[in-house]
Amino acid sequence: MSLEMKVPAVGESISEVTIGQWFKQDGDQVEMDEVICELESDKATFELTAEASGVLKIKAQEGDTLEIGATICIIDTEAEASASESKPKDDSPSKSEEKSSEGGKTGEVKEMIVPTVGESITEVTLATWLKADGDYVELDEIIAEVDSDKATFELPAEANGILKHVAQEGDTLEIGGLICKIEVTEGGAPSEEVSATESTSSAPSGASTSDKETYATGHASPAAAKILAEKGIDAKDVKGTGKDGRITKEDAEKAEKKAPEAPKTASKPTASKSEDSAAPAPKVSGSRDSRREKMSSLRRTVSRRLVAVKNETAMLTTFNEVNMGPIMEMRKKFKDQFKEKHGVNLGFMSFFTKAVCVALQEWPAVNAQIDGNEIVYNDFCDISIAVSAPKGLVVPVIRNAESMSFEEIEKEVVRLATKARDNKLSIEEMTGGTFTLTNGGIFGSMMSTPIINAPQSAILGMHNIVERPMAVNGEVKILPMMYLALSYDHRIIDGRESVSFLVRVKQLLEDPTRLLFGV
């Protein structure tokens, strides 16, 4: 009997879905209620479970868009029965059962799901498998890294046993989604004798175990396949050094594209003459290759939030310029003594953070935020620092910056920036913040209009320092100048407050001794 499985109704306003990923292959045996694929709509991702036990026959492929009620697959329920009936009845245990008992397998399969990693996090992306499919893993051993829109987390094994991948690198999974399975074993890893027996029995007669080929032979891991695709190298031309000949990431990185073979002109002299007489093909300079990469969870979330801020706030930007000469002179005078005493460099960030904290306390609306029909005024200054990390922009927070010294601010900036570049920031270190500083000047930016970091109401953009001729007391002088840009939410901050705030920051930076006396 064949059971047709159709796309279920997943919501009142949803009329079609897209097949995101098949967890089972065509012809695989599936069990009732087992998750076989993932369906994506314009609002959410859903799991499709088997409605019966049997052999799966796939009718729609990954990426296909189907209407509600369309056939997605067929389950042949009789195929399972016929397969079980055709097995010879034998009271003696089979070879696989003997191997299972010798290898310490208990028959229990531990399903590992994506854990809850934060209140506001609903999905994660599988970044890297640290253990290969089929590897033996131990309890609490780190087997994979997963990325959320805020941080990277390590996934530890929940049992001792053989790891079976369900999700692949780059897949996006919802919290609670199946990520892998572990065939639980007792007494540690399978013995070498059992492994040798399995290898010998599976290899053809007369062939050594080193010559054995499996489905993994010549197969590239997801990370290796991506590198090979970028290099334009066929996996068939790469020798794998991984388990059973699998092509690892290291193999892909070392692989080089084969040079084209030289034409054999000596074998066919007549053909070579005709080729010489023909007009040569025009040479095309440059490459026209292109590639597609799935957006990371962090990039998708940043994109969604930036668009939401543009649509939901009355954002406006005001500008001013600052003479950085006094701060540069002060740094030049004291930077060596500062580093010798505190063990950290004296940078510009501590001056800007202190100046911003003073101005925020004088103009509290810039440090406030809207919550429904209420305005929340903060008496503290939690300053968010925008940092460009390998996986995208992150914004760690310096807590109570108003009460910190120059030394404490510089050390905290270094600590947070280092953790950001190593993808080690925790959720707590990126949560909150009442005002944001972003420094595009380190990349050479002269002017920009930064976007507010919601739910905050303002952000200050710093830019590069350029020597420009300026009029000072009727004379032209060359001064190191920086443009400052304050983007703010006009719903809560008026023009008087935004401009006055920026003028106050300019005043404090052009005469940094004011920071010492609070004037």
pLDDT, one tens digit per residue, over 466-510 is 999 999 999 999 999 999 999 999 999 999 999 999 999 999 999
**3-class SS shares of the chain: helix, strand, coil, % to 5:** 30, 30, 40
User: How confident is the model at residue 211, as a pLDDT?
Assistant: 47
Tell me which residue of 111, 105, 116 sits closest to 158, measured CA to CA.
Answer: 111
252: Cβ contacts below 8 Å, ≥ 6 apart: 220, 223, 224, 225, 227, 228, 231, 233, 238
Low pLDDT (below 50) residues in the chain? 81-102, 192-211, 215, 264-269, 273
Out of 26, 234, 494, 511, pick the active-site residue: 494
Q: Is 494 a catalytic residue?
A: yes
Question: Is 490 marked active-site?
Answer: yes
pLDDT computed for residue 89 by the predictor: 46
Q: Tokens 């094994």 correspond to what residue?
A: 157
**Domain extents for the chain?**
1-89, 103-190+221-239, 300-517
pLDDT of the residue at 423 = 80
pLDDT at 15: 78
Q: Does domain 300-517 have CATH number 3.30.559.10?
A: yes
Asked if 1-89 and 300-517 have one fold, the answer is no
User: What pLDDT is stored for residue 100 in this prediction?
Assistant: 43
- Output the six-digit token pair for 499: 């401009």
Helix axes 348-362, 495-510, angle to 10 degrees: 140
Question: With 0-12 CB in 10 A as exposed, 13-18 as middle and 19+ as buried, what is 433?
Answer: buried
- Contact predicate 451/459, CB 8 Å: yes
Catalytic residue among 64, 237, 422, 490: 490
Instruction: Give dist(CA 246, CA 229) in Å, integer.
Output: 16
Q: In CATH, what class is 103-190+221-239?
A: mainly beta
* Residue 221 pLDDT: 63
What are residue 166's phi and psi, to 5 degrees?
Answer: -110, -45
pLDDT at position 82, please? Answer: 47
Cβ-Cβ contacts under 8 Å for 483 (sequence gap 6 or more): 319, 320, 321, 446, 447, 463
- Each residue's pLDDT tens digit, 313-368: 899 999 999 999 999 999 999 989 999 999 999 989 999 999 999 999 999 999 99
Please tell me the predicted confidence (pLDDT) of residue 505.
96
Question: What does the block give as tokens for 47?
Answer: 């799991």
Q: In whole angstroms, what is the distance from residue 370 CA to residue 234 CA?
A: 55
The class level of CATH for 1-89 reads mainly beta
Instruction: Round the CA-based radius of gyration of the chain to a whole number and report it.
Output: 31
Q: Say if CB 358 and CB 518 are below 8 A apart.
A: yes
Residues 277, 282, 287, 292: is their CA dihedral positive or negative?
A: negative
